[in-house]
Structure 1
Amino acid sequence: MTNAHTPSPTRPLRLRNRGAAWTLVVLTPLIAELALGSTPVRMAWLVLLWMPVYGAGVLLIRELVARRGRGWPSILLLALAYELVEDGIGLQALTSPHLYDAASWGARVLGVNLPYFEANAIYHAVFTVCIPIALTNLLFPAHRGRPYLGVPGTVVAGVVAVLGVGLLRTVTLSEDPGYQAPTAFVLGVVVLVLALGIVALFVVPAPRVRTVAPGRQDVSAGRPGSSGAAPVPSLGYLAAASGLATLVFFGLSFPVFGAEQPAFTEGLTVLIPMAVTAVGVVACYHYLMRTASSPAWTPRHTLALIGGALVAHSVGGLVIMAHTTVDRIGLVVIIALTVIGLLLVDRRLRR
């Protein structure tokens, strides 16, 4: 029995788990909203409103996957479910003919804004879900793959996330007054989200376990085994490639430089850049899974991949989201702070 005056050996672990959980909760809206500029610096206080749906939502995804012993494929499926909940039920931008001008992006099929859906599904999967989780893994490597919360904490995260969706809907009513998504669509989203959850947590197989050399860290779970792994490129190459891929994604998926549709298309021709984007995302996923399965992959490679994407996504925000001088200056400052933060984390990893 532990003496009342002797610290419990599990107490530091619990404190670290809570620190990791709160880090993920805070990082998620900062990366997904503030660093993109969709929430401009002059309105940074709104991050507090987004924290329940973003922070608690992604924490819930991470906890469910960790408790089921699943990996990145399951996280990606739940990220798709997250997008359906946020934009299908909360914002209801997937079907709204007015909000964010999403209906003018072209290819509005059966009342659904398809280009908007694809763009945001990919964006949320990468920048709202995967990058915050991967970055938190780097900051708290001893807890990677372990639940941060107990069962009560996970339930609380789920409740807060649901309340966050309700809060999101309340805020959106002022931006898109009078619009309500069709009931059949909302029910369909609920069924699809439940189906994605079941597949992610009960159908997708658990990741293979492989031995990791001392000083190295397996960047992901759920990828193929080390057999057939692609050669690991340099840190600079990874950062540059992920940055370029991010900018290409923005150019193909979002209207830029005053265009109404992505990639300066008109009407259904938007399906072409949509198809190119989908093929590119699948190719990048398979390449990363093969490359990161190499024993030569280290946490610094993970950080380089994350860093290039983060910097490029704020650069993309300068073009897509920034509308005032203050917004642009704010994003430039965020880019500088991002680079400094990445260098500090890299220094920690090298130690």
Structure 2
Amino acid sequence: MEAAKKIEPGSVTSARYWRLDRRPEVEIEDGCLSMQTMPIAPLAEGQVLMRAIYLSLDATNRLWMEDIEGMYMPPVALGTPMLGFLLAEVMDSRNPGFKPGQLAMGLGFWSDYMVTDGAGWTALDRPAGIPLPLAFGVLAIAGPTAWFGLLDVGRPKPGQTVVVSAAAGAAGSCAAQIARLKGCRVIGIAGGAEKCAWLKNEAGLDAVIDYKAENVEQALRRLAPEGIHVLYENVGGDILDASLTHMAQNGTVVVCGLISTYNGGIGAAGPKMFHNVIMKRLRIEGFVVLDYFARYAEAWAELIPWLQQGQLKFRLDIAEGLDHAVDALRSMYHSGNSGKLMVRIGAEP
């Protein structure tokens, strides 16, 4: 990709960004977000000017647009920029923690430029031998989500059966492969022959269930006759029910996401097989990767070597240009992406 042209400090006077104008009712309808322009003022003491390179699109973005009681973070306020995780280049800085020319990643705006005080951002050194979009795609959200969710929350043991729903997604594919690398027998659930073939042939899963072509509950009965020891759940709904039906005694359910409920389904009835929590003495625990931000280095210590050695396979689905961010995010809730969904906003330095 063409390298970024050098931009002199003070020459950036405005930024384009997506603004949240209306909360979604079901889908992210037209009119919920609009493209706007805001001025960029000279930096005050402690501030940093970032130039966005890649924007991570994540299932939870849809929840941030709603005003949901008890959310783990405040919703995006109406009339303000939409939030997301970004990889950016430091263009100018009056903050000792950031130097011009550095790469940084953190929670920012769906914008081509932004000013921040640096809170929630961390400098990122380019890992040797890993392309920049791959490094960001894995190390920012998907990899730590999978690593902490599976190992810190799920705690599987070698030889146990681990089931991952939405296994072809960004976090799901990482979690499934981490379980395999840790010596577990791994069953992935995904939709469509192409995704399932990739999980089997490239990611090396022991078995894959295509929920679009077969009955998940019956397939799990066949493939996990001794039960599921650890379930890494990303979907909810009928997929979750099928897995709860076949949990092993004293099994663990790691709730990473419930994407089937995100388009207007929050508050829907819970799983029909919830009584198995008692019958099978299950441990169920949800988690949010933001809680682990200070511990990211622990995950990176394994994720980076796995990427460098080709032991962790990862697919990127990159939309080109900030203008396409909304349409790209919409596609996620209809299984329209194959791998980690990102938007390339600016050129790599």
Question: Is TM (by shorter chain) over 0.5?
Answer: no
Q: Which has the higher strand share?
A: 2
Between Structure 1 and Structure 2, the one with more helix by share is 1
Structure with higher RCO (Cα < 8 A, 6+ apart)? 1
